[in-house]
Homo-oligomer: A and B are copies of this chain.
């Protein structure tokens, strides 16, 4: 029989994992190609992983869990320089391929932040999207050559900027002109530190904001200006302008200068999906190694993955990983089309991009955070240890709920977009603003629908149910909003803003339902296109699990108006349990297909070779506290106190 899991190594790996890998009924190579967008890219990833593995100067000197924050910053500064040297002079990667640079960076730096992170992800895209040609040709090469380190400063203390490493920054500040007053937020380009001494320039106070939940190798900073003058031409002038005479010229579209935030949100979705993929890999491998309790008496302790509760914790996270991964691919494609349009003056996709990226950003980041915690807790006490990598993963990933737009604010942005569509529907306007994402809101629901959630044809039924719920929540919220604004029945009429606030929780529910509908539709479409039969089978099981799990999650809304009944719910629950059973033997092979190397997972529990227990002990023994049998300060405090107490008790 052909070896379907390409990761089998029976000589060096834990036999419990090898046993799992032998069960694969699909080719992990084929699934890996699907995940990583083709064979050629997958090969490049493997080469990069090998390259980093074989160059010790690209490795951290010890796990960051053992480092102080100063050591973490020094470590990434040192590695940044080494990494650039490998890119510039030693051909480590193909510099024309941003995804390769990104992967190389992740392998070397980890996910805890680094001094060039905002330089590449925020500063460069912002300049590219907002500078006119003259500005771009003057500034961009310096950033690309890393002659300077740039960052992005938008809000108050706690966001964005790098307080210790950067010497230039994009500052988003309110523009005021003598002629015409305030014009809202605009981006400017400002030097903050001296190129020679690296000291802050006069009038500038800048520093590190202190330790955070995660991302502690980044020096996120605070920044204050006191009488700092910025030349007119340091306003980024691709869209809005101020002429030499001081006249303000508006941009063509109000949201056009937010495109770099949309860019970050669009790549965030894939990033978040990968965090969840990491967590699933760790927890699923560990669950096949860890044994506890018997199911059949006398048959010995079972792998904890054989418990239904464990499968119910882990496999829905795995299904969501793929749902989010595919959503990430969609939104990046949409971003590319939108920007292509914007380049030719066509801003028609901006609304969709803005609303969809906001909804996904909110839903995906939150569910990824919950999912990682489920994976962590599924590893028991070992999941609480930094050796598992999971506490760190959570603390980094959960930041995504807050940065790039707080999640509640994001959902209300989606709701605003939905209320506009609802208004068009109620006024019988043509659906000219409908897109593939919002079309379903405009279509009339068939009264003769057949609902059947039987496992082999649940896809259409589930999608239909999500659409029904989303439409109902959207239109109901719209009606209530209008009713509150009209007043009557003893209630005073409310302003739009007041009514909006009274309905805000309901509005966020509509936004979530709409986002779920998109994720489900896109997941169905992507699986439908898969050619490889084995891969398609296993992905269909994951898709079914996703759909039925989401049906359980939103069942109250569907039961409430009689769309489904208790028999449907029995079917849905059985589908979920059935999917768990189907996925069980494939689980390790599915996570193997992500091809995360151990360096990337950074987890003793998630090691590809499954040699967990000996390495847990080794990791613990490397902990700084175990350098000596007796802690250096023992005698000074506790030792002396115990001796005094013994002395006293003898008297």
Contact = CB atoms under 8 A, between A and B. Distances in A.
A556 interface: yes
Given A145-B645, A381-B403, A504 B309 contact: yes
A146 B638 CA distance: 10
A560 interface: yes
A398 B373 contact: yes
A391 B392 CA distance: 12
Interface string A434-458: 0000000000000000000000000
Interface string A627-651: 0011101111111111001101100
Contact of A73 (B70, B313, B383, B631): B631
Contacts of A157: 382, 613, 616-617, 620
B402 A383 contact: yes
Given A157-B617, A386-B210, A625-B70, A296 B148 contact: no
B66 A164 contact: no
Nearest to A399: B384
A116 to B, nearest CB: 9
Contact of A69 (B195, B377, B624): B624
A640 B141 CA distance: 18
Nearest to A293: B409
Contact of A634 (B147, B198, B386): B198
Copy number in the complex reads 2
A502 interface: yes
Interface stretch (A77-85, A528-536, A586-594): A77-85
A200 interface: yes
B398 A577 contact: no
Interface in A383-424: 383-387, 391, 395, 398-399, 401-403, 406-408, 412
Interface string A285-315: 0000000001111000000001111101100
A630 B73 CA distance: 13
Interface residues of A, number: 125
Interface of A: 65-66, 68-70, 73-74, 77-78, 80-81, 84, 115, 141-142, 145-149, 155-159, 163-165, 167, 195, 197-200, 207-213, 219, 222, 294-297, 306-310, 312-313, 369, 373, 377, 380-387, 391, 395, 398-399, 401-403, 406-408, 412, 495, 497-498, 501-506, 508, 552, 555-556, 559-561, 565-566, 569, 573, 577, 613, 616-617, 619-626, 629-631, 633-642, 645-646, 648-649
Given A66-B210, A81-B637, A296-B495, 17 more contacts: A80-B637, A81-B640, A81-B641, A84-B641, A142-B649, A155-B381, A157-B616, A164-B630, A198-B630, A199-B629, A207-B626, A209-B620, A213-B385, A310-B408, A377-B402, A384-B403, A555-B556
